């Protein structure tokens, strides 16, 4: 059944994202009706009835239609007051005063923050994507305006956790789309991350479950199939440490390979296409009954296209997904040779498809089947880039076919890479403190299972999230600090110092790690450790630049470590621990040049040898080899600490 609430507009729009985040906070089911603005659909008579100015988004439920994203959000909070986050527009007991505190910041966002931030986002994030030149004069003019606003915000957030007080509210939510674009899609992230209080605020609000990321192509393929079959299901990721909890059987799953894993009774499958076949044959009467054909001839026709997708379409399209859809967001230079080679291969495949689709509505005939569904994930990501889109739109029949299959409601329901150093950092701290914990990832679809409270968690952002009782943290360093202060008598009792002076010494090195060591070392982790595994050509300029920065840091470290056994003195502390993940990947990269950065400095070499030999770190390294899925950023990893009892 279609959701009673519809949001009209492309999800790439910050205003549409604002409304979607509000609906997710309020736990209101909704569907997104795409509006192709490149085709002028936002100016069509039917859309102008919803939005008289021909802008996105528009909103419709069983009672009314509303336009303007902030007005829509206010309406959602009022109309669905008892759903989801009940304090998004303030607590009832705070009345008009509480609401006014929120409203003033919504107004500030609309009048002071949005104009310069949206102008910058357009020039830096959208204009290049649309093939337009960036107007740097416009960028500079609006940056000067935005800096003034952010200076006010920085001061305010130094005294308040959120804009309207101690609780996340609509005042925070309305700022998120533009902030996300500037932080993740442009080179202006420092406007936020270099302001201490704004950075803390952004870390917290951007980790909320309502701020989603898209699913991997394998997950997307299986999710779409399950939605087509209208089946109840759950996505689960759980690793239990130190003792076996009495969990229901349906969540006792393991996936050490980091792939998508499916379990039904005693049946376990790990290949997305095999899972889709199984779902269709096991549940022929559910949902879309013709998804896998209704006889041997139809199934044979579907199977030949499934094989074509896996063997001919997937390899070049997967390469293009990375280079056209993901590499630009990772600031990875385009490899035009690889792109051209795979474009040529995919063009040959699509030429065949176009001929077939001139005779059939879908690949295997006149019905949408698994043959079409299996092509959706990669096609979706390729079409998101202008260059990739032309591969489909330049072929009349392929364009018509993709337009049809990508508008299926089941696909619209599906919205949501190398190992995470944040996860490794927190795990090491937990092992040092000898604490019981769990890594959990679970999403429940179509019905609410009676799960124990400790697994009713959501974190679709893909970040590390930690929960202990009512306490939730999303920054790995903040989590480590919390563990050390909350459990001072467990495990390593000196890891965060035993007095204010020791702690101050540790803190200065934690700050050095996060502010000076992390940036160049993270760059080198990618370029030396992960890029070779992804067949990404080495960016010598980026490597050399960050080697120089890291060498400067390590020269200082070497001088300090000539006097001290560890960074903060004679004891291993959180100051040392926090450096371990990035250092490990650099030292153990395929290229020896990373290792030389550490081994060429006598005292740094001795220090790294000692800290990397600690049992807690060895346990993490072992986990990374045995359970890589727990460290992959495309998985949402949630840390849940069981109620603590001192021994």
Domains and CATH numbers, the chain: 1-86 (3.40.30.10), 95-204 (1.20.1050.10), 217-406 (1.20.1050.10), 421-641 (1.20.1050.10)
CB 328 within 8 A of CB 386: no
Tokens of 108: 């500030």
Tens-digit pLDDT profile for residues 366-393: 999 888 988 888 888 788 778 889 999 9
Look at residue 516 in the predicted model and tell me its pLDDT: 82
- Comparing 157-161, 239-243, 346-350, 497-501, which segment has the lowest mean pLDDT? 239-243
Statement: residue 223 has pLDDT above 80: no
Average the pLDDT over 143-169 and give the result. Answer: 93
The mean per-residue pLDDT over the stretch 179-183 comes to: 90
130 confidence band (pLDDT: 50, 70, 90): low
Give me the pLDDT at residue 336, please: 83
User: Cα–Cα distance between 418 and 628 in angstroms, integer?
Assistant: 9
Average pLDDT, the chain: 77
At residue 394, does pLDDT exceed 70?
yes
What letter would DSSP give residue 447? S
Rounded to two decimals, the pTM is: 0.40
pLDDT tens-digit series, residues 299-336 = 888 888 887 888 889 888 888 887 787 666 444 566 78
Say how far apart CA 64 and CA 250 lie, in whole Å.
Answer: 41
Sequence-separated (6 or more) residues with CB below 8 Å from residue 160 = 166
Among the listed residues 34, 15, 127, 50, the one whose alpha carbon sits nearest the alpha carbon of residue 415: 34
- Residue 636 has what pLDDT? 34
Tell me the pairing of strands 233-241 and 637-641. unpaired
Pairing outcome for strands 437-445 and 464-468: unpaired
Strand order in the sheet with 6-8: 31-33, 6-8, 58-60, 65-67
Q: List Cβ neighbours of 51 (8 Å cut-off, separation of 6 or more).
A: 8, 42, 57, 58, 67
The answer on pLDDT for 174 being more than 60 is yes
Residue 165 β-bridge partners: 162
pLDDT at position 631 is 39
Report which of residues 574 and 232 the model is more confident about: 574
Distance CA 9, CA 97 (A): 34
State the average pLDDT over residues 232-261.
39
Residue-level pLDDT at 465: 65
Top pLDDT among 428 and 362 is at 362
DSSP 219-280: HHHHHHHHHHTT--EEEEEEEEESS-----GGG----TT-S--EEETTEEE--HHHHHHHHH
pLDDT score of 42 = 85
Positive or negative torsion for Cα 39, 43, 46, 47: positive
Report the pLDDT value the prediction gives residue 592, as an integer from 0 to 100: 83
pLDDT, tens digit, for every residue of 224-246? Answer: 777 667 776 655 433 333 333 33
Peptide bond into 328 cis (omega under 30): no
**Lowest-pLDDT choice from 527-531, 549-553, 561-565:** 527-531
* DSSP strands (E only) in 51-202: 58-60, 65-67
pLDDT at 419 over 70: no
More confident residue, 414 or 128: 128
Residue 603 has pLDDT above 90, yes or no: yes
DSSP string computed for 606-639: HHHHHHTTSHHHHHHHHHHHH-GGGGBTTS-EEE
**Range 415-427 average pLDDT:** 55
What value, to the nearest 5°, has the Cα angle with vertex 524 and ends 316 and 322? 15
One DSSP character per residue, 318-360 reads HHHIIIIIIGGGGTPPP-HHHHHHHHHHHHHHHHHHHHHHTT-
In the prediction, which pLDDT does 271 show? Answer: 66
Task: For residue 86, give the 3-state DSSP assignment.
Answer: coil
Cα–Cα distances in Å, from 601 out to 18, 23, 597, 606?
50, 54, 7, 9
* In the predicted structure, residue 196 carries a pLDDT above the cut 90: yes
């Amino acid at each position: 059944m279609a959701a009673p609430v519809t949001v009209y507009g492309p999800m790439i729009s910050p205003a549409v994202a604002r409304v979607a985040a509000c609906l997710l906070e309020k736990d209101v089911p909704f569907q997104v009706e795409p509006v192709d603005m490149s085709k002028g659909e936002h100016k069509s008579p039917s859309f102008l009835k919803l939005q008289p100015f021909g802008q996105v988004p528009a909103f419709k439920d069983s009672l009314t239609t509303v336009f303007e994203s902030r007005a829509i959000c206010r309406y959602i909070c009022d109309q669905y007051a008892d759903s989801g986050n009940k304090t998004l527009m303030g607590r009832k007991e705070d009345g008009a005063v509480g609401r006014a505190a929120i409203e003033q910041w919504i107004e500030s966002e609309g009048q002071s923050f949005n104009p310069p931030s949206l102008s910058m986002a357009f020039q830096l994030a959208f204009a290049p994507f649309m093939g337009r030149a960036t107007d740097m004069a416009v960028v500079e003019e609006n940056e000067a305006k935005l800096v003034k606003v952010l200076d006010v915000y920085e001061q305010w957030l130094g005294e308040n956790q959120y804009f309207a007080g101690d609780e996340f509210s609509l005042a925070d939510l309305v700022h998120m789309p533009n902030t996300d674009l500037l932080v993740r899609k442009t080179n202006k992230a420092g406007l936020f991350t270099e302001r201490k209080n704004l950075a803390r605020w952004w870390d917290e609000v951007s980790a909320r479950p309502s701020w989603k990321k898209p699913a991997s192509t394998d997950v997307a393929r299986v999710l779409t199939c399950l939605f087509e079959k209208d089946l109840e299901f759950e996505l689960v990721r759980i690793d239990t440490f130190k003792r076996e909890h009495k969990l229901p059987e349906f969540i006792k799953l393991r996936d050490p390979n980091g792939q998508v894993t499916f379990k039904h009774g005693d049946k376990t499958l790990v290949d997305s296409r095999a899972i889709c076949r199984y779902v269709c044959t096991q549940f022929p009467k559910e949902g879309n009954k013709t998804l896998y054909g209704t006889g041997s001839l139809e199934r044979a026709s579907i199977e030949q296209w499934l094989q074509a997708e896996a063997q001919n379409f997937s390899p070049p399209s997967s390469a293009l997904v990375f280079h056209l859809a993901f590499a630009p967001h990772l600031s990875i230079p385009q490899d035009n040779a690889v792109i051209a080679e795979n474009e040529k291969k995919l063009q040959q495949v699509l030429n065949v498809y176009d001929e077939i689709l001139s005779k059939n509505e879908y690949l295997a005939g006149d019905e949408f089947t698994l043959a079409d569904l299996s092509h959706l994930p990669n096609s979706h990501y390729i079409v998101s880039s202008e260059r990739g889109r032309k591969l489909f739109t330049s072929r009349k029949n392929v364009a018509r076919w993709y337009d049809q299959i990508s508008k299926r409601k089941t696909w619209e329901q599906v919205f949501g890479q190398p190992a995470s150093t944040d996860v490794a950092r927190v795990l090491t701290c937990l092992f040092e403190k000898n604490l019981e914990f769990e890594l959990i990832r679970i999403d429940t679809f179509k019905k609410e299972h009676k799960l124990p409270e400790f697994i009713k968690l959501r974190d679709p952002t893909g970040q590390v999230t930690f929960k202990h009782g009512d306490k939730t943290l999303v920054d790995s360093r903040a989590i480590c600090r919390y563990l050390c202060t909350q459990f001072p008598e467990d495990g390593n009792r000196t890891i965060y110092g035993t007095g204010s002076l020791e702690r101050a010494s540790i803190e200065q090195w934690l700050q050095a790690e996060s502010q000076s060591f992390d940036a160049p070392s993270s760059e080198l982790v990618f370029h030396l450790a992960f890029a070779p595994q992804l067949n990404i050509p080495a960016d010598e300029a980026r490597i050399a630049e960050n080697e120089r920065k890291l060498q400067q840091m390590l020269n200082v470290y070497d001088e300090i470590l000539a006097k001290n056994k560890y960074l903060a003195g004679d004891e291993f502390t959180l100051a040392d621990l926090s450096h371990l993940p990035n250092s490990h990947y650099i030292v153990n990269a395929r290229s020896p040049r990373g290792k030389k950065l550490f081994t060429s400095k006598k005292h740094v070499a001795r220090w790294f040898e000692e800290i990397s030999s600690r049992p807690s770190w060895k346990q993490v390294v072992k986990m990374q080899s045995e359970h890589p899925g727990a460290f992959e950023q495309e998985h949402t990893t949630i840390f849940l600490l069981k109620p603590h009892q001192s021994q």
